[in-house]
Structure 1
Amino acid sequence: MTINNINNNINKPQIDGQKLAQQQMQGQSADSKTAQVATQSSVLRQDSVSLTPSAQQLSQAQKKDVEAPVNQEKVDKLKKAITDGDYKINPDVLAQKIAKLESQIFGNGA
């Protein structure tokens, strides 16, 4: 069976339907082989993750923070002081504590 081009009466070579079917089958066969190879390679490949030492230290610090007991009385007292406007921040002490925390996290040795 042959298919004639009927678009705009342009003379193009006739396409043999059997050859077209064979080409499509070959393309599908190649696609399935490619899919099989891709599936096999994805099965063999294993993903992995590694954390930097800094990230590991931060993770450990977060775990300790979660496990730490909470003094609810102290928390309530601080909330009330903040709400009432009575809580005063000492910038020197705050700066020292921030520097100490950075030293612990990043190991800069302050």
Structure 2
Amino acid sequence: MAINVNNLQNTGQVKTDKVEQNQQRQQTTVQQNATQTANQKQDSVSITPQAQQFAKLTDKASNSSGVDQEKVDKIKQAIAEGKYKINVEQLARRIVQFESEIFGKK
């Protein structure tokens, strides 16, 4: 860029040149940003069918009560009808086993 020192009245031209240079720089920057944006790849996530099935099963398990209500109803009915038999020997063994696990004795 040349500046005419002898003709000081022509300073408007110098200012115009600077404005044009700034505009060109801005345009170049905008173009470079647009090119970089276009070159960037989009991120994506995909979930496998197994993960989708696992998520469904997890939701189903969290929504369930954890009690087999059908089995409970059958036992209640058998008790009410007097048909429920208790195996006292097995019950005694399990009580002893439970207590030994709690107190650490065998």
* TM-score where L is the length of structure 1: 0.36
Computing the radius of gyration over CA atoms, which structure comes out larger, 1 or 2? 2
TM-score by structure 2 length? 0.37
